[in-house]
Amino acid sequence: MRVKGSLALMTVAIAAVILITVSVAAASTAKSETGVPILLYHRFGPVVADSMTITTAGFESHLKYLRQNGYTVIPLRQLIDSLKSKKPLPAHSVVIVADDAHKSVYTDMFPLARKYNVPVTLFVYPSAISNASYAMTWNQLKEVKETGLFDLQSHTYWHPNFKREKKKLDQKEYEKLVETQLKKAKDKLEKDLNAKVDLLAWPFGIYDEYLMGKASEAGYIAAFSIERRPVRSTDNMMSLPRFLIENSNQGKSFERLLTEN
Ligand SMILES: [Zn+2]
């Protein structure tokens, strides 16, 4: 009886130790999951013309900092694949993207992306291309894509403010607009650039449940908003956060942004 009793006690003790070990391990896994920051750029230039512009020298200092501090700039596609398959990423992964295909992406960002050999995903709204004076041309898009460094994805067809359109239009018109914006952009980019387009950047970072559902229906597997935090495995695939980079994000401010969790 005594032996049996102590055996039972030992079994309970061992079970408790296993339980504690397992839960400690689980807690530390959850704790150690580091998010991946997506750095979102817009325009580049010799001077800070507006809040969406970063100096070209400032952008180069970001690339230098990443290189010198053990960061790996991975393609956005690799991050999406890893979120879906749980495949591990290199330690200190960072993603670089740019919205709007402003012409300074071609003149200023592109040469530096080549110099530092970093992949960039560019979110394009086709209505501006080879049309608006501030935008890139179709030939420039082809050229950057051919280097293999640039992935071209959708930023809707003409960059509408969905919140404003929803107020302005009746329900039928609004639904039609949403569908056109999502599908036409994807079709045009796929056809003209021979690209696989299934990623979407929400114009102005505006999205809601309805828009997310419509984007999935249109064939997008992930969509991106603007929020100052890194991407985590628990995030909704249709509203993944991106850090909107401003010219003031230099030095300590840039460092902080990369280590924010
Ligand atoms: Zn935009």
Concatenated DSSP letters of 18-38: HHHHHHHHHHHHHHH---BPE
Closest CA to 186 of 144, 216, 227: 216
Could you give the CA distance from residue 225 to residue 203 in angstroms, rounded to a whole number?
8
Is 239 in contact with 220 (CB distance < 8 Å)? no
The CATH architecture that domain 34-259 belongs to is Alpha-Beta Barrel (3.20)
What confidence score (pLDDT) does residue 24 get?
43
Alpha carbon of 185 to ligand 1 centroid (Å): 13
Alpha carbon of 99 to ligand 1 centroid (Å): 5
Could you give the CA distance from residue 71 to residue 8 in angstroms, rounded to a whole number?
52
Alpha carbon of 182 to ligand 1 centroid (Å): 14
> Residues in the chain with pLDDT < 50?
1, 17-31
Residues 217-232: tens digit of each pLDDT? 999 999 999 999 999 9
Could you give the CA distance from residue 104 to residue 111 in angstroms, rounded to a whole number?
10
Alpha carbon of 226 to ligand 1 centroid (Å): 10
What confidence score (pLDDT) does residue 25 get?
44
Alpha carbon of 211 to ligand 1 centroid (Å): 16
What confidence score (pLDDT) does residue 196 get?
95
Alpha carbon of 156 to ligand 1 centroid (Å): 9
Alpha carbon of 100 to ligand 1 centroid (Å): 5
Q: Which residues contact 227 (CB under 8 A, 6 or more apart)?
A: 205, 241, 242
What confidence score (pLDDT) does residue 2 get?
52
Q: Locate all alpha helices (DSSP H) within 69-137, ordered by sequence.
A: 76-85, 103-104, 110-115
pTM of the model: 0.87
Cα separations in angstroms, 128 against 31, 100, 187: 44, 8, 15
Interhelix angle 56-68/252-259, nearest 10 degrees: 50
Residues 3-32: tens digit of each pLDDT? 555 555 555 555 554 444 444 444 434 445
What confidence score (pLDDT) does residue 23 get?
46
Alpha carbon of 125 to ligand 1 centroid (Å): 8
Please report, for the chain, the start and end positions of each structural domain, with discontinuous segments joined by +. 1-32, 34-259
